[in-house]
């Protein structure tokens, strides 16, 4: 395996850090232990107020592959764009400050990319989500190894990777830096959704492969607030990202593909149910007087009505909400959501990419 060369790293690893003193060392050390050593790690810190920066700088002093920059008061996408502009590697990979990699992740991804002359290699990842009240859930997004022979083959099969939550996150993926630069793909193009970089890269990617199994892991602590501001933020993100996904499929010429459209509408309904639960579920902090009004605004849209008519959600609880959503009956939607949330908090069987 190639050794580190300062001017020509094989992989540029990008990280945006923020108040991650409990997890960032594990992340970096999992990269330092990789069997492929020819990489650079570019970290942009977003104004951490804890011990994160001190830990990172101590690690960089002992490892010339690591560089650390400070960028006060910027978003995560903006920090990743700053890191991307410094990248020199043939490939780009993004890691989270609360994630860690299996020791052969880089070698396996690079081998697959070089062996198949691929622009994108998609790896699997595991996700542990811990809520503010200490409840945790674990899931894995992975698939069997596969190389798509043509661009059309990948686009036709992409709905499966979207449905399992594996395709949208930036983590566990190896991107061609040449294609990033040719297509001017960025992390912060102006949208409010968090997967803009991947969606921009996917628009015209040609050679794609999937690495079988799971090579990356994330343990994510969710904020405890479930008030009106979180409702608005989550709903805007859902609307923006759904629009972007529909636009991607129009660009691909697959807006008439039944499997793809059913996936998109099911995904939308499942996440809409999650937003509704935040409004009126067991742990809601939204004032009771506002709950029905907010839910009515969410379900009384053409987008929600189309999705409720087409979708086949995986969750029984979400399927139970389809009829009152189609009837635009916010009162029943709220009551059913409250009852379902009492029985099983987290009524929507949402995909892992909602949290990564």
User: Does the residue 5 lie in any domain?
Assistant: no
Q: Are 36 and 61 in contact (CB under 8 A)?
A: no
Rg (the chain; Cα; Å): 21
**Whether 74 and 131 share a structural domain:** yes
User: Does the residue 6 lie in any domain?
Assistant: no
Q: How many domains does the chain have?
A: 2
**Whether 151 and 280 share a structural domain:** no
Reduced to 3 states (helix: H, G, I; strand: E, B; else coil), residue 58 is helix
Query: What is the separation of C-alpha 5 from the centre of its chain, rounded to a whole number of angstroms?
Result: 31
**Whether 314 and 292 share a structural domain:** yes
Question: Which two three-digit tokens encode residue 232?
Answer: 């608005």
Sequence-separated (6 or more) residues with CB below 8 Å from residue 291: 279, 280, 284, 334
Q: What is the pTM of this model?
A: 0.93
- What is the per-residue pLDDT across 86-128, written as a single tens digit (0 to 9) for each? 999 999 999 999 999 999 999 999 999 999 999 999 999 999 9
- Residues facing residue 120 across a β-bridge: 175, 208
User: Does the residue 39 lie in any domain?
Assistant: yes
- What is the per-residue pLDDT across 49-74, written as a single tens digit (0 to 9) for each? 999 999 999 999 999 999 999 998 89
Domain that holds residue 21: 11-221
**Whether 177 and 265 share a structural domain:** no
**Whether 234 and 205 share a structural domain:** no
**Whether 47 and 190 share a structural domain:** yes
Burial bucket for residue 190 (CB in 10 Å: 0-12, 13-18, 19+): exposed
Q: Say how many residues make up the chain.
A: 356
Q: Are 213 and 104 in contact (CB under 8 A)?
A: no
Of 189, 221, 253, the residue at which a domain comes to its end is 221
Question: Which two three-digit tokens encode residue 206?
Answer: 């040609």
Q: Which helix or strand (DSSP H or E) is residue 100 part of?
A: strand 99-101
**Whether 23 and 172 share a structural domain:** yes
Backbone angles phi, psi at 212, to 5 degrees: -65, 150
**Whether 191 and 80 share a structural domain:** yes
Of 186, 204, 221, the residue at which a domain comes to its end is 221
- What is the per-residue pLDDT across 137-173, written as a single tens digit (0 to 9) for each? 889 999 999 999 999 999 999 999 999 999 999 999 9
Of 178, 197, 221, the residue at which a domain comes to its end is 221
d(CA 312, CA 314): 7
Q: Are 68 and 37 in contact (CB under 8 A)?
A: no
């Amino acid at each position: 395996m190639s050794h580190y060369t300062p001017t020509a790293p094989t992989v540029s690893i990008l990280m945006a850090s923020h108040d991650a003193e409990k997890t960032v060392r594990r992340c970096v050390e999992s990269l330092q232990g990789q069997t492929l050593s020819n990489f650079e790690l570019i970290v942009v810190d977003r104004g951490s107020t804890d011990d994160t920066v001190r830990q990172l700088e101590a690690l960089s002093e002992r490892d010339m592959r690591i560089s650390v920059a400070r960028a006060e008061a910027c978003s995560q996408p903006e920090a990743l764009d700053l890191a991307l502009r410094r990248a020199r590697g043939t490939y780009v990979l993004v890691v989270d400050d609360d994630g860690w990699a299996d020791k052969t992740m880089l070698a396996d991804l690079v081998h697959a990319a070089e062996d198949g002359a691929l622009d994108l290699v998609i790896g699997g990842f595991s996700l542990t989500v811990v809520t503010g009240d200490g409840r945790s859930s674990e899931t894995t997004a992975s698939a069997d190894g596969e190389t798509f022979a043509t661009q059309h083959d990948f686009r036709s099969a992409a709905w499966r990777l979207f449905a399992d939550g594996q395709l949208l996150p930036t983590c566990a993926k190896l991107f061609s830096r040449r294609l990033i630069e040719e297509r001017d793909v960025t992390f912060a193009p102006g949208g409010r959704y968090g997967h803009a970089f991947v969606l921009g890269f996917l628009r015209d990617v040609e050679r794609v492969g999937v690495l079988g199994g799971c090579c990356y892991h994330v343990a994510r602590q969710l904020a405890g607030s479930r008030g009106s501001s979180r409702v608005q933020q989550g709903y805007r993100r859902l609307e923006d990202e759904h629009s972007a996904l529909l636009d991607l499929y129009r660009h691909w010429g697959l807006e008439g593909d039944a499997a793809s459209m059913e996936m998109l509408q099911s995904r939308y309904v499942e996440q809409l149910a999650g937003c509704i639960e935040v409004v009126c579920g067991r742990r809601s902090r939204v004032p009771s007087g506002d709950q029905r009004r907010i839910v009515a605004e969410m379900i009384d849209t053409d987008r929600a009505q189309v999705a409720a008519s087409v979708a086949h959600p995986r969750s029984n609880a979400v399927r139970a909400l389809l009829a009152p959503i189609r009837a635009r009956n916010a009162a029943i939607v709220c009551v059913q959501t409250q009852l379902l949330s009492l029985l099983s908090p987290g009524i929507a069987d949402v995909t892992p990419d909602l949290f990564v």
